[in-house]
Structure 1
């Protein structure tokens, strides 16, 4: 494993811990809801049933920071209190940071095991 990959995994591990502290300590959110939703993004791997290209697209939709960030921006601009959607969005970020800390990256269309972290 390269030094760059270790750094990226460490950065994501720190962000994962930050979001855990935010979720449980700062915002005092629900453990049960966390346990229900923490693995939901992995359901999008089911796209691989339709081949590597579809699978990588569906997996990456759920494992890219784009959608949860857009949701967070919209919620921050339109809400003055924390909603269930915001709680789930924090769980979504936490899942992505957890996966990246474990070395799982965005998938390439040539197969599930090929990720953006492989070449580091």
Structure 2
């Protein structure tokens, strides 16, 4: 059977996540439990130390998470779903093209397009 301290460790570990758990974050959570009388100072220190040992040991699991994320990104690409970086690249290219068009219009004396690069609707 698992001790109450181990149960608290597991709950914190699961709630916060191994990848994002820092000593400060763990300490804040444990300090709150100590303040509420749910564990002693000594139990709190042991809990934080235990959590940090688990985080260090989870380096392998972070590699697994990275592989999962990489697989997910690949799947999204295969499905043709644009990612944030793809959209930012397209936005940048559009802005550059709009700038080049304005420069060409200025040098040729043509009437510049309205801001935003879209022609006004015929009305």
Same fold (TM over 0.5): no
The structure having more radius of gyration, on CA atoms, is 2
Structure 1 length-normalised TM:
0.31
Which structure is higher in strand share?
1
* Larger RCO (CA within 8 A; separation ≥ 6): 1
Given the two structures, how large is their TM-score scaled by the length of structure 2? 0.30
